[in-house]
Amino acid sequence: MEDSLQEALSSSEGPLANEVIEKIYCLSGQAFCKSWRIELKGNKKLFAKSVPIEGFTRLKCEAEGLQSLRKFADREFLKIPNPICIERFGTNSYLLLPWLNLDGNNQKNLGKGLALLHKSSLNNNSQGFGWGKDSFIGAGPQPGGWKDTWGECFVELRLKPQLKIAQKWGIDLTELGSLLSAITSCLDNHNPCPSLVHGDLWSGNAGVENDGKGILIDPATWWADREVDIAMTKLFGGFKKEFYAEYECIWPLPKSSKSRVEIYNLYHVLNHANLFGGSYKQEVFSSLNNLKKYFSKIY
């Protein structure tokens, strides 16, 4: 793989045709995705992500998401890599990105930068909630489409597609009609305005560079309630007190936001259960039961 990637990058028509590649290191590898550090002459570095060729569209969606986030990012606080190129090579595809030094530790600028991104994108989309094309959440599907109301968008374009996939391993969608109606009403009553969100904001997709600026990578962008990003930061942990404090200084969350965390994270737990199985399936059942109990007290 290293040899074929190097050949693709340094060919006469490749993006590094005028560079000297000294070494390519595989940083991590899975069946559907590998990441690489590319060292060039002159002490320069780049990052590449490679997937099987059928994953080209997924890389394209990632690059488009990064470019969309960059439009609203305040570069004093937040750094979002600008894609260099996306190409096919042999039986694989790759996305080439600038190298980022994730050596920083203080998450103040990360929190401030995210809040400013959410706030600056607010009301900058006339089509409502959703996204203009089918994309991906990790390796899972994230359907495109637009909805005027937030509750309908989240249930129809996010929860229901994942629940339909989950029917293969035990979810009975016919038993969830009342719950999904309650979630729709709850989110419609909340009535947020759409912000551009990262969409897959766990700690592996965020960091701090050595200059203190926050970093966002590997997005699953769409126009949504900004709370979906904050909710996901709490799903797997890794975000510090200063991250939340700085976010709140720029744009405080409503007190009711805590009541929506499990609703929003159900989408991600479903996606993980559909992709990886295991204990995530039980988390789905547990979350559904929690939400049924919660809404039975309200409605």
**Structural domains of the chain, with CATH:** 2-72+81-98 (3.30.200.20), 108-298 (3.90.1200.10)
Residue 8 confidence class, pLDDT cut points 50, 70, 90: confident
184-227 pLDDT, tens digit each: 999 999 999 999 999 999 999 999 999 999 999 999 999 999 99
Q: Would you state the structure tokens that stand for residue 110, as one six-digit string?
A: 């990360």
pLDDT of the residue at 298: 79
User: In this structure, are residues 34 and 1 in contact, taking their beta carbons and an 8 Å threshold?
Assistant: yes
Residue 31 confidence class, pLDDT cut points 50, 70, 90: low
Helix axes 177-190 and 261-276, enclosed angle (nearest 10) = 130
As a whole number, mean pLDDT of residues 73-77 equals 97
| Percent of residues, the chain, with pLDDT higher than 90 | 86
Question: In this model, does residue 3 exceed pLDDT 80?
Answer: no
User: CA 140 to CA 32: how far, in whole Å?
Assistant: 11
Residue 5 confidence class, pLDDT cut points 50, 70, 90: confident
Question: In this model, does residue 1 exceed pLDDT 70?
Answer: no
As a whole number, mean pLDDT of residues 39-66 equals 95
* Prediction pTM value: 0.95
Q: Which residues are catalytic?
A: 200
